[in-house]
Protein backbone atom coordinates (compact mmCIF):
# COMPACT_ATOMS: atom_id res chain seq x y z
CA UNK A 1 0.00 0.00 0.00
CA UNK A 2 1.53 3.29 -1.08
CA UNK A 3 1.32 6.50 0.89
CA UNK A 4 1.52 10.04 -0.34
CA UNK A 5 4.45 11.94 1.15
CA UNK A 6 3.59 15.08 3.07
CA UNK A 7 4.03 18.36 1.22
CA UNK A 8 7.20 20.20 2.23
CA UNK A 9 4.94 23.24 2.66
CA UNK A 10 2.72 21.45 5.20
CA UNK A 11 2.33 23.28 8.53
CA UNK A 12 0.17 20.69 10.27
CA UNK A 13 0.68 20.75 14.03
CA UNK A 14 2.48 24.11 13.90
CA UNK A 15 1.60 27.42 15.54
CA UNK A 16 2.24 30.70 13.75
CA UNK A 17 2.19 34.21 15.21
CA UNK A 18 1.67 37.07 12.75
CA UNK A 19 1.98 40.69 13.79
CA UNK A 20 -0.12 43.09 11.79
CA UNK A 21 -2.07 39.94 11.04
CA UNK A 22 -5.56 41.39 10.76
CA UNK A 23 -5.23 43.22 7.45
CA UNK A 24 -3.23 43.46 4.24
CA UNK A 25 -0.28 41.14 3.76
CA UNK A 26 -0.45 39.93 7.36
CA UNK A 27 -4.00 38.67 6.97
CA UNK A 28 -3.13 36.91 3.71
CA UNK A 29 -0.22 35.12 5.37
CA UNK A 30 -2.25 34.19 8.44
CA UNK A 31 -4.99 32.63 6.32
CA UNK A 32 -2.44 30.83 4.15
CA UNK A 33 -0.77 29.33 7.22
CA UNK A 34 -4.16 28.14 8.47
CA UNK A 35 -4.93 26.53 5.11
CA UNK A 36 -1.56 24.77 5.34
CA UNK A 37 -2.56 23.32 8.72
CA UNK A 38 -1.26 25.80 11.30
CA UNK A 39 -3.02 27.33 14.26
CA UNK A 40 -2.51 31.09 14.27
CA UNK A 41 -2.03 33.94 16.71
CA UNK A 42 -3.27 37.24 15.28
CA UNK A 43 -1.61 40.31 16.77
CA UNK A 44 -2.72 43.77 15.70
CA UNK A 45 -3.68 47.04 17.34
CA UNK A 46 -7.47 46.82 17.05
CA UNK A 47 -9.36 44.11 18.91
CA UNK A 48 -12.25 43.97 16.43
CA UNK A 49 -9.92 43.40 13.48
CA UNK A 50 -8.02 40.66 15.32
CA UNK A 51 -11.29 38.96 16.22
CA UNK A 52 -12.57 39.12 12.63
CA UNK A 53 -9.47 37.44 11.21
CA UNK A 54 -9.49 34.87 14.01
CA UNK A 55 -13.04 33.92 13.03
CA UNK A 56 -11.92 33.44 9.43
CA UNK A 57 -9.16 31.11 10.60
CA UNK A 58 -11.53 29.13 12.79
CA UNK A 59 -13.86 28.77 9.81
CA UNK A 60 -10.98 26.95 8.09
CA UNK A 61 -10.96 24.41 10.90
CA UNK A 62 -7.93 25.75 12.73
CA UNK A 63 -7.52 27.28 16.18
CA UNK A 64 -6.92 31.00 16.48
CA UNK A 65 -5.94 33.43 19.21
CA UNK A 66 -6.72 37.13 18.78
CA UNK A 67 -4.40 39.36 20.82
CA UNK A 68 -4.52 43.14 20.35
CA UNK A 69 -1.02 44.55 20.72
CA UNK A 70 1.03 47.59 19.73
CA UNK A 71 4.31 46.12 18.51
CA UNK A 72 6.17 49.32 19.30
CA UNK A 73 5.47 48.76 23.02
CA UNK A 74 8.40 46.81 24.53
CA UNK A 75 6.42 45.51 27.52
CA UNK A 76 3.35 44.61 25.47
CA UNK A 77 5.50 42.28 23.38
CA UNK A 78 6.47 40.34 26.47
CA UNK A 79 2.79 39.89 27.23
CA UNK A 80 2.10 38.81 23.63
CA UNK A 81 4.89 36.23 23.62
CA UNK A 82 3.84 34.81 26.99
CA UNK A 83 0.16 34.59 26.09
CA UNK A 84 0.81 32.94 22.73
CA UNK A 85 3.15 30.37 24.29
CA UNK A 86 0.90 29.61 27.25
CA UNK A 87 -2.22 29.34 25.07
CA UNK A 88 -0.79 26.93 22.48
CA UNK A 89 2.22 25.57 24.34
CA UNK A 90 4.54 26.55 21.51
CA UNK A 91 5.21 28.99 18.68
CA UNK A 92 6.86 27.54 15.58
CA UNK A 93 6.61 30.45 13.16
CA UNK A 94 6.91 34.17 13.90
CA UNK A 95 6.15 36.72 11.19
CA UNK A 96 7.26 40.26 12.00
CA UNK A 97 4.91 41.94 9.57
CA UNK A 98 3.50 44.98 11.40
CA UNK A 99 4.79 48.23 9.94
CA UNK A 100 4.04 51.88 9.41
CA UNK A 101 5.30 54.72 7.22
CA UNK A 102 3.50 57.99 7.97
CA UNK A 103 3.70 60.88 5.55
CA UNK A 104 5.59 64.08 6.38
CA UNK A 105 6.08 67.39 4.53
CA UNK A 106 9.89 67.33 4.45
CA UNK A 107 12.84 65.70 6.17
CA UNK A 108 13.48 68.88 8.18
CA UNK A 109 9.93 68.62 9.51
CA UNK A 110 10.24 65.03 10.73
CA UNK A 111 9.77 65.32 14.46
CA UNK A 112 11.29 63.15 17.16
CA UNK A 113 7.92 61.58 17.95
CA UNK A 114 7.39 60.46 14.35
CA UNK A 115 10.95 59.13 14.09
CA UNK A 116 10.64 57.19 17.35
CA UNK A 117 7.24 55.77 16.39
CA UNK A 118 8.44 54.52 13.01
CA UNK A 119 11.59 52.94 14.44
CA UNK A 120 9.63 51.39 17.30
CA UNK A 121 7.10 49.60 15.10
CA UNK A 122 9.39 48.63 12.23
CA UNK A 123 12.61 47.76 14.09
CA UNK A 124 12.41 47.77 17.88
CA UNK A 125 9.33 45.56 17.95
CA UNK A 126 10.70 42.86 15.62
CA UNK A 127 13.96 42.83 17.60
CA UNK A 128 12.20 42.32 20.93
CA UNK A 129 9.70 39.71 19.72
CA UNK A 130 12.37 37.77 17.83
CA UNK A 131 14.57 37.72 20.92
CA UNK A 132 11.76 36.53 23.17
CA UNK A 133 10.34 33.85 20.90
CA UNK A 134 13.57 32.95 19.13
CA UNK A 135 15.19 31.97 22.41
CA UNK A 136 12.23 29.75 23.30
CA UNK A 137 12.15 28.19 19.85
CA UNK A 138 15.85 27.40 20.03
CA UNK A 139 15.41 25.75 23.44
CA UNK A 140 12.41 23.65 22.41
CA UNK A 141 13.23 22.16 19.02
CA UNK A 142 13.42 25.06 16.59
CA UNK A 143 11.26 27.22 14.41
CA UNK A 144 11.17 29.89 11.74
CA UNK A 145 11.20 33.68 12.00
CA UNK A 146 10.15 35.70 8.95
CA UNK A 147 10.77 39.44 8.79
CA UNK A 148 8.79 41.55 6.33
CA UNK A 149 11.08 44.26 5.01
CA UNK A 150 10.72 46.59 2.02
CA UNK A 151 12.56 47.47 -1.16
CA UNK A 152 12.77 50.94 0.41
CA UNK A 153 15.54 49.46 2.56
CA UNK A 154 17.83 49.33 -0.48
CA UNK A 155 16.21 52.08 -2.60
CA UNK A 156 15.23 54.77 -0.09
CA UNK A 157 13.55 57.98 -1.14
CA UNK A 158 13.17 61.30 0.73
CA UNK A 159 9.48 60.52 1.22
CA UNK A 160 10.03 57.40 3.36
CA UNK A 161 13.44 57.89 4.94
CA UNK A 162 12.68 56.86 8.57
CA UNK A 163 10.81 53.79 7.30
CA UNK A 164 13.62 52.89 4.90
CA UNK A 165 16.20 53.20 7.67
CA UNK A 166 14.17 50.95 9.96
CA UNK A 167 13.70 48.33 7.26
CA UNK A 168 17.41 48.38 6.45
CA UNK A 169 17.96 47.63 10.12
CA UNK A 170 15.48 44.76 9.87
CA UNK A 171 17.53 43.28 7.01
CA UNK A 172 20.55 43.35 9.34
CA UNK A 173 18.59 41.78 12.20
CA UNK A 174 17.66 38.91 9.89
CA UNK A 175 21.28 37.89 9.45
CA UNK A 176 22.23 38.51 13.08
CA UNK A 177 19.34 36.45 14.48
CA UNK A 178 19.99 33.64 11.99
CA UNK A 179 23.42 33.24 13.57
CA UNK A 180 22.20 33.87 17.13
CA UNK A 181 19.57 31.13 17.11
CA UNK A 182 20.81 28.77 14.43
CA UNK A 183 20.91 25.95 13.70
CA UNK A 184 17.59 25.25 15.42
CA UNK A 185 15.85 28.45 14.30
CA UNK A 186 15.89 29.73 10.75
CA UNK A 187 15.51 33.49 10.25
CA UNK A 188 14.71 34.93 6.83
CA UNK A 189 13.32 38.09 5.33
CA UNK A 190 10.85 38.97 2.58
CA UNK A 191 11.76 42.30 1.01
CA UNK A 192 8.37 43.36 -0.24
CA UNK A 193 7.65 45.75 -3.06
CA UNK A 194 4.41 47.68 -3.63
CA UNK A 195 1.27 45.62 -2.96
CA UNK A 196 -2.35 46.58 -3.52
CA UNK A 197 -3.50 46.37 0.09
CA UNK A 198 -5.86 48.83 1.75
CA UNK A 199 -2.86 51.12 2.31
CA UNK A 200 -2.49 51.51 -1.45
CA UNK A 201 -5.87 53.27 -1.53
CA UNK A 202 -4.00 56.36 -0.32
CA UNK A 203 -1.62 56.35 -3.29
CA UNK A 204 -2.17 59.10 -5.79
CA UNK A 205 -2.30 58.04 -9.47
CA UNK A 206 1.23 59.32 -10.10
CA UNK A 207 2.65 57.11 -7.34
CA UNK A 208 0.94 54.00 -8.67
CA UNK A 209 2.13 54.78 -12.20
CA UNK A 210 5.67 55.18 -10.84
CA UNK A 211 5.58 51.75 -9.20
CA UNK A 212 4.22 50.17 -12.36
CA UNK A 213 6.82 51.88 -14.53
CA UNK A 214 9.70 50.78 -12.30
CA UNK A 215 8.62 47.12 -12.13
CA UNK A 216 9.75 44.49 -14.64
CA UNK A 217 6.26 42.96 -14.32
CA UNK A 218 4.68 46.36 -14.97
CA UNK A 219 2.34 46.32 -11.98
CA UNK A 220 2.02 46.26 -8.22
CA UNK A 221 1.43 42.96 -6.44
CA UNK A 222 -1.82 41.42 -5.27
CA UNK A 223 -1.79 40.58 -1.53
CA UNK A 224 -2.12 36.86 -2.25
CA UNK A 225 1.19 36.98 -4.12
CA UNK A 226 3.12 37.21 -0.83
CA UNK A 227 1.88 33.77 0.20
CA UNK A 228 4.32 31.59 -1.74
CA UNK A 229 7.38 33.19 -0.19
CA UNK A 230 5.83 33.14 3.29
CA UNK A 231 4.94 29.45 3.09
CA UNK A 232 8.41 28.65 1.77
CA UNK A 233 10.15 30.32 4.70
CA UNK A 234 7.65 29.03 7.29
CA UNK A 235 7.89 25.40 6.25
CA UNK A 236 10.39 22.60 5.80
CA UNK A 237 10.62 23.57 2.12
CA UNK A 238 13.29 26.09 3.18
CA UNK A 239 15.14 23.76 5.54
CA UNK A 240 18.56 24.84 4.17
CA UNK A 241 17.74 28.56 3.95
CA UNK A 242 18.50 31.04 6.71
CA UNK A 243 19.77 34.61 6.85
CA UNK A 244 18.28 35.16 3.39
CA UNK A 245 16.60 38.32 2.13
CA UNK A 246 14.23 37.55 -0.75
CA UNK A 247 12.87 40.32 -2.95
CA UNK A 248 9.19 39.91 -3.80
CA UNK A 249 8.69 43.17 -5.64
CA UNK A 250 7.75 42.55 -9.26
CA UNK A 251 11.31 43.37 -10.37
CA UNK A 252 11.58 46.94 -9.08
CA UNK A 253 14.57 48.90 -10.36
For residues 204 and 140, give the distance between their C-alpha atoms in angstroms, rounded to a whole number: 48
Mapped onto helix, strand or coil, the DSSP state of residue 55 is helix
CB 167 within 8 A of CB 227: no
Q: Residue 140's CB: how many other CB atoms inside 10 A?
A: 14
Can 163 be counted among the known catalytic residues?
yes
Cis peptide before 183 (omega within 30 of 0): yes
> How far is it, in rounded angstroms, from Cα 85 to Cα 160?
35
The answer to whether the CB of 209 falls within 8 A of the CB of 154 is no
What does each C-alpha distance from 43 to 47, 64, 92, 103, 164 come to in angstroms?
Answer: 9, 11, 15, 24, 23
Give the list of residues 6+ apart from residue 242 with CB closer than 8 angstroms, or none: 178, 182, 186, 187, 188
**What is the Cα–Cα distance from 111 to 116, expressed in whole angstroms?**
9
Query: At 148, is the secondary structure helix, strand, or coil?
Result: strand
Catalytic residue, chosen from 104, 163, 181, 232, is 163
Catalytic residues: 163
Amino acid sequence: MSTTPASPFDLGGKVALVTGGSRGLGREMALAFARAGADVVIASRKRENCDATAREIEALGRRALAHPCHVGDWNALGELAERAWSHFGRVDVLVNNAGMSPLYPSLAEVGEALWDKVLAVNLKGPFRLSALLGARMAATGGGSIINISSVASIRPTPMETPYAAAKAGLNALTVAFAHAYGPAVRVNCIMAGPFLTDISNAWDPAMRQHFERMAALGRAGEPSEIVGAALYFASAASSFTTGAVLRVDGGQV
